[in-house]
């Protein structure tokens, strides 16, 4: 039985062969009939392999879309929920498959580290789990995973909903720690957190995540004391194979996390490699108070509400006072400052300085490189930003922030296919994300792919509506919602949301800029230019560089008022620099 069945037109063998080679290099088994001749035996073999394969990649090209065999195999896979489409040559997909996201592989150049292939890898990993062996940079291979574990979000038992950030942070750290053990395949954070509060049984969760074991637990924090309970359950029979309760001082939290990870390894009768043992013992800080506050700051940052950035910045500045060597806190400080890059009072050093500090202290952390990428992006240095983001992605291919920044840099370079690949990984990595999801819409709009733009907009709007329902004053979500509604043709609703957004957060220039993009998309050029004038008058150098690169503004660039605004903003910034 192969992991992957590839359905394609024989005429496309030259472009399919490198793809198969790249998939096999990742450790998956692939069946793609390169040598079999058609006939009864062929049909029988195809049927057996198709039924046995764990997933099916359909390769859409102008030739395969006309093949009834390819379309039939794709329909069978879609009905079974195992379809993963890819596309070459901008093929126009069959109408019944157009709403299914397909990874564009035009220009992937057989680069297994490029955004297009990594997006495909992520889609396959979601269905298959991690491949059996992964190539290392030195040509060696990690051990084949012997078990797969889904770490469910630890329940907050503190009696205070505001302590949720702490239990979530503990869960994420355990996921990260167990991910350092090559004999374990760990279900992604996004998938694991999708079961938060679920009442289904462990067996069902194991089936859905393809995990052999499920880790459940709870956290109770009271003052400087913390109690953690954890149980490792065999998903095949609901049997507990390990369980423990820990009552400790908060300052012992790091040793406690080590104990839990090592106890799970021991319960599964695994042996840690020397480098894995060393990796488990590495901590970004040994200061318990700094760690607690950092988890709080990170939770605010992940909410992606621009109003929270000032909170994140204040907390992180206090954290690095407590522990000046806390690389992760420096990186999050830089990323929060980057989220405010549109403000005219922002200096280059506000992002670059903490990012450089993070990189110096934590060159092994993906977030450190992502922060450097964000610093370049905030200065309009899109190519340099992309290179830094790629370094982060090498360390953590599923990093939400690294893929989001990489996508933005690709947009600045007008490399929209690559941008979509990066944004799709970000969307998959963070269930609550709506920002990367909205940028996917913009990329398809720029490519004039209306069918995919509409499908992406429908998905983005669903996420935005959930965020706004939970937090009615979420100005970033509302602003992007205006844009998405415009793409979907819901003009009246878009205008209503725009009015609401400006009343909720009247001084947020970035929010107003999102409204400019929405009005431009709706064909409301005068309204777009009117709002843009106020944005340009207080834009930072980074914001101005984005205004000059953003494809959403292409419909209004020919208007003389646009150039006048840009020149006025440049003169203002030049005068400020001279002063």
Question: Do 160 and 180 lie in a common domain?
Answer: yes
Strands 55-60 and 83-87: parallel
pLDDT at 38: 44
Q: In what order do the strands lie in the sheet with 30-31?
A: 30-31, 4-7, 55-60, 83-87, 103-104
Residue 137 lies in a domain: no
Question: Do 72 and 51 lie in a common domain?
Answer: yes
Domain that holds residue 154: 147-283
Question: Do 187 and 318 lie in a common domain?
Answer: no
**Residue closest to 430 by CA, chosen among 39, 122, 134, 33:** 122
pLDDT, greater one: 575 or 303: 303
The CATH number given to whatever domain includes residue 72 is 3.40.50.10140
pLDDT at 342: 66
**Range name among 113-122, 439-448, 540-549 with the lowest pLDDT average:** 540-549
Residue 227 lies in a domain: yes
Residue 133 lies in a domain: no
For 54-67, the pLDDT digits (tens) are 899 999 999 999 99
Query: Would you tell me how many other CB atoms lie within 10 Å of the CB of residue 128?
Result: 17
Cβ-based neighbours of 268, under 8 Å, separated by 6 or more:
146, 147, 183, 184, 213, 232, 241
Question: Do 441 and 428 lie in a common domain?
Answer: no
Measured distance CA(454)–CA(444) in Å, rounded: 9
Question: Do 380 and 446 lie in a common domain?
Answer: no
As for how many domains the chain has, the answer is: 4
Q: Choose the most confident range, by mean pLDDT, from 342-346, 385-389, 449-453, 479-483.
A: 385-389
For 358-404, the pLDDT digits (tens) are 999 999 899 999 999 999 988 889 999 999 999 999 888 888 999 99
Question: Do 438 and 489 lie in a common domain?
Answer: yes
pLDDT at 370: 96
Helix (H, G, I), strand (E, B) or coil at 171: helix
The CATH number given to whatever domain includes residue 465 is 1.25.40
Measured distance CA(272)–CA(133) in Å, rounded: 17
State both tokens at 186: 């760990």
Final residue before a domain boundary, out of 233, 259, 283: 283
State both tokens at 520: 């431009």
Question: Do 447 and 577 lie in a common domain?
Answer: yes
HSE value, Cβ hemisphere, 13 Å, CA-based, for 389: 32
**Residue closest to 164 by CA, chosen among 296, 289, 293:** 296
Question: Do 490 and 391 lie in a common domain?
Answer: no
For the range 562-566, what are the long-range contacts, defined as Cβ-Cβ under 8 Å and sequence gap of 24 or more? Answer: 562/529, 562/532, 565/529, 565/532, 565/533, 565/536, 566/536
Residue 221 pairs in a beta bridge with: 226
Residue 234 pairs in a beta bridge with: 213, 239
Measured distance CA(374)–CA(249) in Å, rounded: 37
Residue 327 in this model has a pLDDT that exceeds 90: yes
Strands 239-249 and 225-234: antiparallel
Q: What is the mean pLDDT of residues 342-366?
A: 84
pLDDT at 40: 39
For 527-547, the pLDDT digits (tens) are 889 888 888 888 877 778 888
Residue 424 lies in a domain: yes
Question: Do 455 and 516 lie in a common domain?
Answer: yes
- Sequence length of the chain is 579
Question: Do 208 and 260 lie in a common domain?
Answer: yes
Q: What percent of the chain has a predicted confidence (pLDDT) above 70? A: 93
According to DSSP, residue 294 is labeled H
Question: Do 421 and 447 lie in a common domain?
Answer: no
Q: What is the mean pLDDT of residues 270-285?
A: 79
Q: How far is CA 5 from CA 85, 383, 515, in A?
A: 12, 37, 45
Helix (H, G, I), strand (E, B) or coil at 84: strand
For 161-173, the pLDDT digits (tens) are 778 889 999 999 8
To the question of pTM greater than 0.85 for the whole model, the response is: no
Helix (H, G, I), strand (E, B) or coil at 121: helix
pLDDT at 151: 94
Question: Do 295 and 420 lie in a common domain?
Answer: yes
Q: Where are the alpha helices (DSSP H) in 488-558?
A: 491-504, 509-521, 525-536, 541-549
The CATH number given to whatever domain includes residue 407 is 1.25.40.10
For the chain, the C-alpha Rg in angstroms (whole number) is: 25
């Amino acid at each position: 039985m192969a992991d992957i069945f590839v359905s394609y037109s024989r005429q496309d063998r030259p472009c399919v062969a490198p793809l198969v080679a790249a998939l096999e290099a990742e450790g998956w088994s692939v069946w793609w009939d390169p040598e079999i001749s058609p006939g009864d035996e062929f049909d029988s073999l195809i049927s057996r392999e198709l039924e046995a394969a764990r997933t099916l990649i359909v390769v859409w090209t102008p030739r395969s879309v006309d093949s009834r065999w390819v379309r039939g195999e794709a329909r069978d896979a879609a009905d079974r929920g195992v379809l993963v489409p890819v596309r070459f040559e901008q093929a126009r997909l069959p109408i019944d498959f157009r709403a299914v996201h397909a990874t564009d592989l035009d220009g992937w150049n057989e680069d297994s580290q490029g955004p297009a292939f990594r997006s495909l890898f992520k889609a396959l990993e979601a269905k298959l789990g991690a491949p059996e062996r992964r190539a290392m940079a030195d040509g060696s291979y990690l051990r084949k995973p012997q078990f797969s574990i889904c770490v469910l979000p630890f329940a907050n038992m503190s009696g205070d909903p505001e302590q949720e950030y702490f239990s979530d942070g503990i869960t994420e750290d355990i996921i990260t720690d167990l991910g350092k053990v090559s004999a374990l395949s760990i279900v992604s954070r996004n998938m694991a957190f999708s079961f938060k509060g679920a009442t289904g049984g462990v067996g069902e969760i194991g089936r859905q995540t393809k995990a052999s074991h499920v880790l459940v637990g709870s956290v109770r924090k009271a003052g400087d004391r913390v109690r953690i309970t954890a149980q490792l359950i065999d998903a095949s029979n609901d049997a507990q194979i390990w369980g423990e309760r820990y009552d400790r001082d908060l300052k012992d939290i790091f040793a406690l996390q080590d104990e839990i990870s090592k106890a799970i390894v021991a319960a599964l009768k695994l042996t840690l490699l020397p480098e894995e043992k060393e990796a488990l013992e590495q901590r970004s800080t040994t200061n318990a108070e700094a760690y607690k506050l950092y988890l709080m700051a990170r939770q605010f940052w992940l909410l992606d509400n621009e109003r929270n950035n000032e909170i994140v910045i204040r907390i992180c500045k206090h954290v690095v006072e407590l522990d000046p060597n806390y690389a992760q806190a420096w990186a999050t400080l830089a990323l929060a400052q980057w989220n405010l890059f549109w403000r005219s009072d922002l200096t280059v050093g506000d992002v670059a300085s903490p990012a450089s500090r993070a990189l110096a202290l934590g060159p092994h952390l993906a977030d450190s490189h992502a922060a450097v990428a964000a610093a370049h992006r905030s200065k309009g240095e899109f190519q340099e930003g992309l290179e830094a983001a790629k370094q982060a992605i090498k360390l953590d291919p599923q990093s939400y922030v690294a893929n989001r920044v990489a996508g933005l840099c690709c947009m600045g370079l007008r490399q929209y296919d690559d941008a979509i690949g990066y944004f799709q990984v970000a969307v998959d990595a963070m269930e609550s994300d709506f920002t990367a999801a909205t940028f996917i819409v913009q990329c398809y709009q720029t490519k004039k792919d209306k069918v995919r733009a509409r499908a992406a907009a429908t998905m983005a709007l669903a996420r935005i509506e959930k965020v706004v329902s939970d937090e009615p004053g979420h100005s970033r979500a509302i602003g992007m919602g205006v844009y998405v509604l415009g793409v979907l043709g819901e003009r009246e609703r878009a205008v209503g949301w725009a009015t609401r957004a400006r009343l909720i957060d009247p001084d947020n220039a970035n929010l107003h800029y999102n409204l400019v993009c929405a009005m431009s998309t709706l064909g409301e050029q005068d309204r777009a230019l009117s709002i843009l004038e106020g944005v340009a008058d207080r834009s930072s150098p980074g914001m101005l560089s984005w205004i000059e690169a953003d494809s959403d503004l292409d419909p209004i660039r020919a208007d003389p008022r646009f150039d006048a605004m840009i020149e006025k903003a440049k003169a203002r910034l030049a005068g400020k620099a001279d002063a």
